[in-house]
Amino acid sequence: MKVEIHNLGVIEELEIDLKPFTVFIGRNGTGKTWTASTLASILGKHGFDRYLKSYINGKTEQKYPIIDNAIKQFLQEGNISIDLINFAEEYAEAYINDVAQLYLSLTKTFLSTERSNFKSSKISFDLATVKPEILDNIKKSNLEKQIYFGSQGKEYLNILKEIGKNNIYFNIISKGGFLNKIPMRLFKELLLQEIFQIIHKSFYSDVYIFPTQRTTFINFPFSITKKIGKLDNNVNFDKISDVDLDINKIISERSHISKITNPGEPVQSLIEILITNAYIKTIDERKEEIKKQPEIGIYTELAELLEKQILQGKIYFNESGLENKIFFQSSEKIEVEIAAASSLVKGLAPLVLWLRYLAEPHELLIIDEPEMHLHPSVQVAITEFLTMLVQAGLKVLIITHSPYILDHLSNLMKAAKYKHKESIKNKFYLERTEAFIPQEKVSVYLFEDGITKNTLNEEGRIDWGTFGDVSDDISHIFP
């Protein structure tokens, strides 16, 4: 997926191609983190939620005649089908660029700044190289839910999208032999929510950011209120009057309700999305997910690999006391609260929890400085681990200042070209051929002087002169 950004903070002109494994390098203050945050805000759940609300309120530039015509047909006939592949062929690029345009009007909110001016900023996406993958993701999506309405609760809106099929269906089912029309505004909101969500998730099924402050966030004790009872796809809106209909009510009816002890917005972003949800979801629930979607079983195995070969211990939850705590156990006799664990453990614990409880194929993981607090040998090992994530169906974007990571990434790309991979795996830290990554899955960009430069050449060599220049400088201080 190709992205162009103009006049965003210190960035004057940026062109990047987001590959399954994307790397940003460069000196501090060159716009790497802002770019990553911008991409996450547009492509993640936050971007979807803001866009859905704005579109419903008529505050976006892009319109979709297919949807408008479908709404009119539904109100007349009580059922419709929309070909999502045709919709995406025509509108997927327009959709994500409209989300990006909305982002520009909300940039100060997304980046938590009041001082910067973004009036001249521009962001655009070119989907030419990834359109087949996007369409394939839409085909793989599935959805089945019933939305009950009417005074007797005998009528419901059935929504169906089957795996491998192009169409999504909306039709009213009546159990009582008569039909009450669903309120137009409610139907419009439900239709937009489902269609936009499928299209949005076709880019990345979700986006997670692990910021540099992750070693601090993991220390916070937290308390959680669980919603009693299981959630399913049956929602009853009998008690919601037409005047009160609101998409936020629809979303809240269908979401886990969990509360965090007020640690502040940035902290809540990491803990509520990651740690809280991980705690709410039990291992048994994760196993049930794996039965339905076997490919995610590899992520729980990767979590164990990370613990065993890099952390050399076990991360787990403990419910005793007034607060829920995370513990690290390095042996049968030694266990400590996460706050007392090493910076290595604190920095990588969120990654363990994400893989064990939440990760699903085609999600984007953004890590700011994966090398933070890590010995060079562990930096090399974590490089292999991250490429294993990519080979397991995840997407990874890192921002790094580590020559060890870049040098070893070159090794892994060269190893992927080797015919007898099993014969060389013992040369590597994790001794896994799954860490060998094809060069076509990797992109590396240097941020410098307001622009970006592709620093990965055709032979798989990464030019990291941004680090070498410093080495040359200090070697000549006392010649």
Q: In one letter, which amino acid is 367?
A: I
Look at residue 135 in the predicted model and tell me its pLDDT: 97
Does 430 have pLDDT greater than 70?
yes
Q: Which pLDDT tens digit goes with each residue over 126-147? A: 999 999 999 999 999 999 998 8
Bridge partners of 122, per DSSP, are: 6
Through-space distance between the first and last CA atoms of the chain, rounded to whole angstroms: 47
Grouping H, G, I as helix, E, B as strand and the rest as coil, residue 191 is: helix
Confidence band, pLDDT 50/70/90 cuts, at residue 261: very low
Look at residue 459 in the predicted model and tell me its pLDDT: 83
DSSP state string for 417-440: T-S-GGGTGGGSSS--GGG---GG
| Spatial separation of the C-alpha atoms in residues 28 and 435, rounded to whole Å | 29
Question: pLDDT higher for 240 or 290?
Answer: 290
Bridge partners of 2, per DSSP, are: 17, 126
Question: pLDDT higher for 389 or 180?
Answer: 389
Confidence band, pLDDT 50/70/90 cuts, at residue 297: very high
309 to each of 23, 215, 376, 381, how far by Cα in Å?
A: 24, 20, 15, 9
Question: Which range is least confidently modeled, 149-153, 191-195, 298-302, 393-397?
Answer: 149-153
| Spatial separation of the C-alpha atoms in residues 128 and 140, rounded to whole Å | 20
* Token representation of residue 462: 């990464």
Q: Which pLDDT tens digit goes with each residue over 62-76? A: 999 999 999 889 888
* Token representation of residue 106: 């909300």
| Spatial separation of the C-alpha atoms in residues 263 and 267, rounded to whole Å | 6
Q: Tell me, rounded to whole angstroms, the distance of Cα 18 from its chain centroid.
A: 14
* Token representation of residue 183: 């309120």
Does 378 have pLDDT greater than 70?
yes
Pairing of strands 325-329, 335-337: antiparallel
Element (H, E) at 160: strand 155-161
Confidence band, pLDDT 50/70/90 cuts, at residue 107: low
Report the mean per-residue pLDDT for the chain: 82
| Spatial separation of the C-alpha atoms in residues 223 and 14, rounded to whole Å | 42
Residue pair 209/366 in contact (Cβ under 8 Å)? The answer is yes
Bridge partners of 324, per DSSP, are: 222
| Spatial separation of the C-alpha atoms in residues 455 and 51, rounded to whole Å | 34
Bridge partners of 327, per DSSP, are: 316, 337
Pairing of strands 207-210, 395-399: unpaired
Read off the DSSP letter of residue 449: T
* Token representation of residue 159: 């929504």
Question: pLDDT higher for 339 or 464?
Answer: 339
* Token representation of residue 54: 């704005």
Look at residue 260 in the predicted model and tell me its pLDDT: 32
CB atoms near residue 359 (< 10 Å):
24
Q: Which of 90, 202, 44, 64 is nearest to 135 (CA)?
A: 202
For residues 285-302, average pLDDT? 90
Q: Give me the half-sphere count of Cα atoms (radius 13 Å) on the Cβ side of residue 245.
A: 17
Look at residue 421 in the predicted model and tell me its pLDDT: 95
Residue pair 272/263 in contact (Cβ under 8 Å)? The answer is no
Q: Which of 253, 237, 239 is nearest to 187 (CA)?
A: 237
For residues 316-329, average pLDDT? 70
Element (H, E) at 235: strand 234-236
| Spatial separation of the C-alpha atoms in residues 91 and 204, rounded to whole Å | 17
Residue pair 206/43 in contact (Cβ under 8 Å)? The answer is no
Does 362 have pLDDT greater than 80?
yes
Q: Which pLDDT tens digit goes with each residue over 335-349? A: 888 888 898 998 898
Read off the DSSP letter of residue 17: E
Q: Which pLDDT tens digit goes with each residue over 216-256? A: 666 655 444 444 334 345 544 444 333 333 434 433 443 33
Residue pair 458/440 in contact (Cβ under 8 Å)? The answer is no
**Helices and strands of the chain, counted as H and E runs:** 17, 17
Does 257 have pLDDT greater than 50?
no
Look at residue 256 in the predicted model and tell me its pLDDT: 35
Residues 6+ apart with CB under 8 A from 358: 274, 277, 278, 281
For residues 271-298, average pLDDT? 75
Does 111 have pLDDT greater than 70?
no
Confidence band, pLDDT 50/70/90 cuts, at residue 325: confident
Look at residue 278 in the predicted model and tell me its pLDDT: 56
